[in-house]
Amino acid sequence: MNSKLPPKEIRKLSEHEIQVTWADNSINQITSEVLRKLCPCAVCKAERGDTSHEKPLSPKKSSLSIVESTREESVELKTIRGVGNYAIALEWGDRHDDGIYTWPYLLELVQS
Ligand SMILES: [Zn+2]
Protein backbone atom coordinates (compact mmCIF):
# COMPACT_ATOMS: atom_id res chain seq x y z
CA MET A 1 0.00 0.00 0.00
CA ASN A 2 1.30 3.41 -0.95
CA SER A 3 1.92 5.79 1.97
CA LYS A 4 0.10 8.54 0.06
CA LEU A 5 -3.16 6.61 0.06
CA PRO A 6 -5.92 7.31 0.81
CA PRO A 7 -5.95 11.07 0.18
CA LYS A 8 -7.05 13.36 3.01
CA GLU A 9 -8.69 15.98 0.91
CA ILE A 10 -9.79 16.63 -2.65
CA ARG A 11 -10.36 20.30 -3.28
CA LYS A 12 -11.78 21.96 -6.34
CA LEU A 13 -9.60 25.01 -6.95
CA SER A 14 -11.40 26.18 -10.06
CA GLU A 15 -13.25 24.77 -13.02
CA HIS A 16 -9.89 23.84 -14.42
CA GLU A 17 -7.96 22.45 -11.49
CA ILE A 18 -8.28 20.22 -8.44
CA GLN A 19 -5.90 19.83 -5.54
CA VAL A 20 -5.24 16.55 -3.78
CA THR A 21 -3.78 16.32 -0.28
CA TRP A 22 -2.38 12.84 0.26
CA ALA A 23 -2.09 10.80 3.45
CA ASP A 24 1.56 11.84 3.81
CA ASN A 25 0.51 15.55 3.56
CA SER A 26 2.05 16.03 0.15
CA ILE A 27 -0.05 18.07 -2.23
CA ASN A 28 -0.61 17.83 -5.95
CA GLN A 29 -2.65 19.88 -8.38
CA ILE A 30 -4.20 18.18 -11.37
CA THR A 31 -5.60 20.17 -14.27
CA SER A 32 -9.04 19.40 -15.59
CA GLU A 33 -7.52 18.84 -19.00
CA VAL A 34 -5.47 15.94 -17.73
CA LEU A 35 -8.40 14.53 -15.79
CA ARG A 36 -10.71 14.70 -18.76
CA LYS A 37 -8.19 13.30 -21.21
CA LEU A 38 -7.70 10.32 -18.96
CA CYS A 39 -11.33 9.83 -17.97
CA PRO A 40 -11.49 6.20 -16.88
CA CYS A 41 -15.06 5.47 -18.03
CA ALA A 42 -15.62 2.77 -20.63
CA VAL A 43 -16.77 5.21 -23.33
CA CYS A 44 -13.72 7.47 -23.11
CA LYS A 45 -11.41 4.50 -22.88
CA ALA A 46 -12.93 3.09 -26.03
CA GLU A 47 -12.41 6.46 -27.73
CA ARG A 48 -8.78 6.30 -26.76
CA GLY A 49 -8.57 2.85 -28.26
CA ASP A 50 -8.12 1.15 -24.91
CA THR A 51 -10.18 -2.01 -24.87
CA SER A 52 -9.02 -3.17 -21.49
CA HIS A 53 -11.81 -2.61 -19.00
CA GLU A 54 -10.07 -4.68 -16.39
CA LYS A 55 -7.81 -2.03 -14.97
CA PRO A 56 -7.50 1.75 -15.26
CA LEU A 57 -5.56 3.04 -18.20
CA SER A 58 -2.01 3.93 -17.36
CA PRO A 59 -1.36 7.51 -18.46
CA LYS A 60 2.05 6.50 -19.69
CA LYS A 61 0.64 4.15 -22.29
CA SER A 62 -2.04 6.46 -23.57
CA SER A 63 -1.71 7.99 -27.01
CA LEU A 64 -4.11 10.81 -26.16
CA SER A 65 -5.85 11.99 -29.27
CA ILE A 66 -9.28 12.93 -27.98
CA VAL A 67 -10.97 15.48 -30.17
CA GLU A 68 -13.68 15.99 -27.57
CA SER A 69 -11.29 17.45 -25.01
CA THR A 70 -10.46 20.43 -27.18
CA ARG A 71 -13.97 21.72 -26.57
CA GLU A 72 -13.96 24.22 -23.75
CA GLU A 73 -17.01 22.90 -21.92
CA SER A 74 -15.72 19.35 -21.85
CA VAL A 75 -12.81 20.41 -19.64
CA GLU A 76 -14.94 22.56 -17.37
CA LEU A 77 -15.13 20.85 -14.04
CA LYS A 78 -18.59 21.22 -12.51
CA THR A 79 -18.90 18.88 -9.55
CA ILE A 80 -16.74 16.51 -7.55
CA ARG A 81 -18.66 13.66 -5.95
CA GLY A 82 -17.31 11.12 -3.48
CA VAL A 83 -17.79 7.50 -4.44
CA GLY A 84 -17.69 5.26 -1.38
CA ASN A 85 -14.34 5.60 0.32
CA TYR A 86 -12.28 4.74 -2.68
CA ALA A 87 -12.87 7.21 -5.48
CA ILE A 88 -14.33 10.43 -6.81
CA ALA A 89 -16.61 10.98 -9.77
CA LEU A 90 -16.31 14.20 -11.79
CA GLU A 91 -19.12 15.95 -13.60
CA TRP A 92 -18.12 18.02 -16.63
CA GLY A 93 -19.52 21.05 -18.41
CA ASP A 94 -20.82 18.83 -21.19
CA ARG A 95 -22.62 16.71 -18.55
CA HIS A 96 -20.31 13.77 -18.87
CA ASP A 97 -20.07 12.12 -15.45
CA ASP A 98 -19.28 8.45 -15.94
CA GLY A 99 -15.66 8.49 -14.93
CA ILE A 100 -14.76 7.04 -11.54
CA TYR A 101 -11.30 8.14 -10.44
CA THR A 102 -10.00 5.73 -7.80
CA TRP A 103 -7.27 6.84 -5.40
CA PRO A 104 -4.55 4.72 -7.06
CA TYR A 105 -5.62 6.11 -10.43
CA LEU A 106 -5.33 9.72 -9.22
CA LEU A 107 -1.92 8.91 -7.82
CA GLU A 108 -0.88 7.50 -11.18
CA LEU A 109 -1.96 10.74 -12.83
CA VAL A 110 0.24 12.91 -10.62
CA GLN A 111 3.20 10.58 -10.76
CA SER A 112 3.29 10.17 -14.52
ZN1 LIG B 1 -15.52 9.36 -19.74
CA of 93 to the centre of ligand 1 (A): 12
Residue 44, in any domain of the structure:
yes
CA of 45 to the centre of ligand 1 (A): 7
**The total number of structural domains that make up the chain:** 1
In this structure, which amino acid lies at residue 83?
V
Q: Does some domain include residue 55?
A: yes
CATH code: domain of residue 32: 3.30.2020.30
Considering only 25-29, 60-64, 100-104, which range has the smallest mean pLDDT?
A: 60-64
* pTM for the full predicted model: 0.80
Statement: residue 106 has pLDDT above 90:
yes
Classify residue 4: in a domain, yes or no.
no
28-85 pLDDT, tens digit each: 999 999 999 999 999 999 888 876 655 555 555 556 655 555 568 889 999 999 999 9
The residue segments making up the domain with residue 70 are 9-111
62 vs 87: which has the higher pLDDT: 87
With respect to residue 13, please indicate whether it lies within any of the assigned structural domains: yes
Cα(96) to ligand 1 centroid in Å equals: 7
Using the mean position of ligand 1's atoms as its centre, give its distance from the Cα of residue 38 in Å. 8
